[in-house]
Structures are given as C-alpha cells and as structure tokens.
Amino acid sequence: DSGVTQTPKHLITATGQRVTLRCSPRSGDLSVYWYQQSLDQGLQFLIQYYNGEERAKGNILERFSAQQFPDLHSELNLSSLELGDSALYFCASSVETGPGNTIYFGEGSWLTVV
Amino acid sequence: DAKTTQPTSMDCAEGRAANLPCNHSTISGNEYVYWYRQIHSQGPQYIIHGLKNNETNEMASLIITEDRKSSTLILPHATLRDTAVYYCIVRVGNNDMRFGAGTRLTVKP
C-alpha cells in the first residue's frame, strides 16, 4: 500500500458525459501527479500540482482539467468523454518536487466509456 | 530529460538473480535513475533510485556505472511474484516521472 488513495476504483459512463476522479496523496506529500494508461499508449503524464498550484503539464487534453485543493487532495475532471478516453488513471504523490523525491502511485481508477 | 533504452523482454529462473539493464547514455550530472515496476494493471511500484553511487534496499540493488551511462537493477532471488514490467527512468529537476515501454520480466518456475 503506497498510501495514495484513489476513488472510484471502477467507473463506467457513456460518451459525452463528465466524470471526476479523486485522489488523496500520502500524508505530508505536497505534490500530486496524474497519469493515464491506455492499452496502446502506455503510461502518459497528464499534469502535476504542487501545494495547490499547477507545476507541469503533459499530454492532457483540453477536455480534461485538474485541481489541487487546500487540503492537498486532487481531482481530475474528464468531460465530453469519448470511447478513446477509456483507460486507467493513476494519481501519484511526492513530498516535494525535487528529482530525489520519490513519487508513489495509487492503484488507479478504471474508466470505461461506452 | 535523458532517454533510456531497455530490452523489451527478459526471462529469469525462479530463485536466480534477475539483472535488468538500462542504457541512459545522455544522462546529465544532476539526473537521478529511478526504477519502478508494474504488475498487471496495478499502480507502478517504486523499487529504488540512485544518483551516482550503487544503492541497495530490501527489494533490489541498483548498480550505476562510473560514467553513469548505464545501470542495472538486480533482484537477488527472483520469485514468480516478481513477474512484471520494469521501468528505468531518468529524472531531472522538478519534473514528473516519464515512463517508456519498460522491460517485461517473466520469472519461470
């Protein structure tokens, strides 16, 4: 158990809908990261937050957005969902953002768009 | 970030040491080498990381060459539960962790 908690574990929704994935980082961790893993793309970095502020952006679509709240939990919002958005979404956290700070991953949220 | 090159797949006999190589010939002086693994569709699991020196923890050992252009992850006594995809990642600055395709390690009885 990494200490990173993600909810829901599984989610099935229809195309065009909007969903919110939630992440609670490890206790004391200030930085949160979101990743997407689909069968044909591998693990793709989406976005990073540090202490409430966006720090880095990866291959995140404009239909997707995220935020980190004052209590440090984070939410990833996915809207106008398409079949291709079906994937595993991982949240990860680290204490700080320096390269020597290990990133720990949650168990992921399975999203199926039908 | 420096790119890494790993073999696509490897086999290892149960109980033997698994040695997973990684090439990172363009690594810079302040870049760390990290190893993660992913079992089925579980979340990536941190294994070990290092900058210049060799490192060992309860899971594995990391051997980094003197010129830092390559490294080897060693699982001293592989078990069937070590079957997974192993990722070697070079990380710099405040960046996130960028994953490549990794090495699919299969431990066989």
B89 DSSP β-pair partners: B34
Is-contact B37 B87, C-beta < 8 A? yes
Q: Which residue from B31, B94, B96 is facing A45, i.e. has the nearest CB?
A: B96
**A interface with B, Cβ–Cβ below 8 Å:** 2, 4, 33, 35, 37, 42-43, 45, 48, 50, 55-56, 58, 88, 90, 92, 97-100, 102-108, 110
| Lowest-confidence region among A22-36, B2-16, B82-96 | B82-96
Checking if the pLDDT of A27 tops 90, the result is yes
The answer to whether the beta carbons of residues A19 and A78 sit under 8 Å apart is: yes
Is the model's pLDDT at B99 over the cut of 90?
no
> How far apart (Å, rounded) are the C-alpha atoms in residues B109 and B107?
7
Chain B: closest CA distance from residue A23 (Å): 13
β-pair type (A109-113, A10-13): parallel
Smallest CA-to-CA distance from A4 within A72, A62, A55, A66 is with: A72
A99 to chain B, closest Cα gap in Å: 5
pLDDT, tens digit (0-9, with 9 covering 90-100), for B49-94 = 999 989 999 999 999 999 999 999 999 999 999 999 999 998 866 6
Q: Please, are residues B109 and B80 in contact by the beta-carbon 8 Å criterion?
A: yes
CB A48 within 8 A of CB A54: yes
Closest partner residue to A103 among B93, B97, B101, by Cβ?
A: B97
Nearest-by-CA chain B residue for A93: B96
Res. A42: pLDDT tops 70: yes
